[in-house]
A and B are shown apart, each in its own frame.
Chain A
Amino acid sequence: MTSVLIVDDEMFIVELYRDILQLRGYKVVGTAFDGEEALRKYTSANDKPDVIIMDHRMPVMNGVQATKEIMKMNPSQKVIFVSADVLVEKEARDAGAVEFLPKPFRMDDLIEKMQKISSS
């Protein structure tokens, strides 16, 4: 089962992703509310998540910075970047994100990206 770490500073968005992913059979192994917490949880996790769903605009450390730090630790980590800031797509991809979804997206779009990553 594909495991997922969800990173977003809005509790209702985290809950939303968890609802969608669990309903479609994915295993949510952790959540974080800013980039620094994500980094901390990622570093201490024995089993790294297969996929990280990463927001950009968050307090303490933003998503691009957190993605860069995670990629330094594990260059093959799969990150789906999700943001309402479409202009941040290039930065996110340069940081190492394999997919980018502009908010608001359709639920099927997220699942399609998850399936693409899972099968690669």
Chain B
Amino acid sequence: MDVVSHDMLNDNQAVLSYLELILATPNLDRKAADYARKAVSHVRSSTMRIENVRTIVRAGKASKATLESADLMAAIKESCEDVLRAFPSKRVEIGKPALSGKAMVIGGVLVKELLITVMSSIVKLDPDSEATLNLTVAEDAGYRNRGWTVTIEDPNVKLPAVVKDTDIDSVHTKDSSVAAKVSGLLFAKIAADALGGDFDVQSGGTGGAGRGALFVLRLRRAENR
């Protein structure tokens, strides 16, 4: 599946670029330009569907990760470092709590990947040249026989309207153009569920003026691991 989707994206690259070259042709017939624009739109939809299939395949790995544990504090530290390095053209600041001791959770290597995916998605959704993420970690004694909750707030992120009013995993049924932008969050939702945890997005926070959101990831504590 991985190789096939890779090749399909290569094909889409060629189709998209040649359509763009056609659209850049001087004095292009108006009707031909309309046809080309419609074709571009369909290539983008096709790319989105391929990304969704990849997301599902990636999340499928989660079932194996339920057998493994990871130190949440170490995963937060490493994922923050990775995210800060990943956006050289954007100023990203991450406020994180003082991390001391260990907090073992179920998920193995997927825990770090989940954190990176969520934080990267937030940075990409943030429309400004700077993004500020504030992380808090809390032990959640009441959650599914004890777990840990990681809350990431971006006071400035502007979520697409459909994301605010819909569960992440059903966004694609409402608006396919938005689904492509939030495929990372969809992955987080599927993977967290598979690990026995949860992930959801809540609009609000301290941003005001329709901005700001809380991204809440809950993971189960790993007992005797």
- Choose one: B5, B17, B24, B88; the contact of A16 (CB below 8 Å): B17
What is the interface residue range for chain B against chain A? 10 to 19
**A20-B21, A84-B9 as given contacts; A104 in contact with B47, CB under 8 Å:** yes
Most B Cβ at <10 Å: residue of A19, A93, A104, A107: A104
Please indicate the chain B residues that have their CB under 8 angstroms from the CB of A89 in the complex.
86
Could you say which residues of chain B place their CB within 8 Å of the CB of A107? 17, 20-21, 24
Contacts of A16 in B (CB 8 A): 13-14, 17-18
The answer to whether B85 touches A103, judged by C-beta atoms less than 8 angstroms apart, is no
Task: Please give, as numbers and ranges, the residues of chain A lying within 8 Å of B47 by CB-CB distance.
Answer: 104
Residue-wise, chain B 62-89 has the 8 Å CB interface mask toward A (1 for contact) of 0000000000000000000010011010
Contacting residues, chain B, for A106 (C-beta < 8 A): 16, 20
A90, B17: Cα distance in complex, Å: 25
Residues of chain B with a CB closer than 8 A to A85's CB: 6
Interface of chain B residues 90 through 149 with chain A (CB within 8 A): none
Question: How far is it, in angstroms, between the C-alpha of A104 and the C-alpha of B180 when the chains are bound?
Answer: 13
Asked if B9 and A104 sit within 8 Å, CB to CB, the answer is: yes
A105: min CB distance to chain B, Å:
7
Closest 6 CB pairs of A and B: A104-B13, A84-B9, A107-B20, A104-B12, A103-B13, A84-B6
Contact surface of A with B, Cβ cutoff 8 Å:
10, 12-13, 16, 19-20, 23, 57, 84-85, 89-90, 93, 103-108
Residues of B in contact with A (beta carbons under 8 Å apart): 5-6, 9-10, 12-14, 16-18, 20-21, 24, 43, 47, 82, 85-86, 88
- 17 inter-chain pairs at a CB distance below 8 angstroms, sorted by A residue, are A13-B10, A13-B14, A16-B14, A16-B18, A20-B17, A84-B5, A84-B9, A85-B6, A103-B10, A103-B13, A104-B16, A104-B17, A104-B43, A105-B13, A107-B20, A107-B24, A108-B20
